[in-house]
Amino acid sequence: MDTEPVVIVAAARTPIGSLNGALSTVPLHDLCSVVIKDVLKQAGVRSDEVSEVIMGHVLAAGHGQNPARQASVGAGIPYSVPAWSCQMVCGSGLKAVCLGAQSIQSGESTVVVAGGMESMSQAPHTLQMRTGVKMGDATLQDSVVADGPVEVKVDEFPRHGSNIDSMSKLRPCFIKDGSGTVTAGNASGINDGAAATLLMSQSEAKRRGIKPMARIVSWAQAGLDPSIMGTGPIPAIRKAVDKAGWPLDQVDLFEINEAFAAQSVAVVKELGLNVDKLNVSGGAISLGHPLGMSGCRVLVTLLHALQRTGGHKGVASLCIGGGMGIAMCVERV
């Protein structure tokens, strides 16, 4: 096992699309191919120099076998390069980066594309076809007006014109007896998108003359009672910063996926975080939460935020459905 640091030399994401929005009809593997091509272009790495492609992905039904492989081939990466998907619910995209780093440190790979993708708009409704379809309506699309390219450059999900007054009137989503507090306004959305990073060893980056964005210092995952799954980042972050040897107050920026506002408040309160360092570019409630993408999305956002603000140490983390958390510490170099 090689203990040489693994560095991130490029990071990219698509805009995040709303449910049934601008990206809803784009095949998932095409979304992912876009970001794979982009990170290779950023770093000046040829597609035939990639050793492995790993993509987090959650809702796989309807996308065919191994969408990561489809995306890899679609990005022009040779057939000889293996590509595969991992599934850790909301943490899938960040877990893919951890697995990519492990692959490099084990000597299995030299250059790894790792990230996440999701098209929640394309999650299928299921129908028991063996009993037949007796009646019902169907919708036709007019190909005359639907044909033609559409360029999506900005995140689609932010609700322009929202205010506290209108959001306070939203109905609770889960508990209907008047005591519920989680609404569509303080919970993350159902979204589409893809994100990717390009990983290699520090010496490989130096050999190629590539300036890394950051080095991966540590990562950690944790499990806990599923009924309090939203607090998963608390033990995961503590473990990750312990491995890094960092006091929490020395971290410049935190990017913590806000599945729900209440969940984020609990994490901030328990860890004693300075909110001025948290999600400085906006969080999942405003941007959206495409499940398989989000783990890598928070990392990509963190890397660019560190560059923009001049910070050096950053932590990316997510809670995970089923009662888990994942976190990664990175340092800008």
Q: What is the 3-state secondary structure (H, E, C) of the chain?
A: CCCCCEEEEEEEECCCEECCCCCCCCCHHHHHHHHHHHHHHHHCCCHHHCCEEEEECCCCCCCCCCHHHHHHHHCCCCCCCCEEEECECECHHHHHHHHHHHHHHCCCCCEEEEEEEEEHHHCCCCCCHHHCCCCCCCCCCCHHHHCCCCCCCCCCCCCCCCCHHHHHCCCCCCCCCCCCCCCCCCECCCEEEEEEEEEEEHHHHHHHCCCCCEEEEEEEEEECCHHHHHHCHHHHHHHHHHHHCCCHHHCCEEEECCCEHHHHHHHHHHHCCCHHHECCCCCHHHHCCCHHHHHHHHHHHHHHHHHHHCCCEEEEEEEECCCEEEEEEEEEC
Total residues belonging to the chain: 333
Choose among 295, 290, 298: nearest CA to 314: 298
CB 123 within 8 A of CB 20: no
Q: Which active-site residues does the annotation give? A: 90, 319
Q: Which two tokens stand for residue 276?
A: 């001025």
Choose among 110, 317, 108, 100: nearest CA to 221: 317
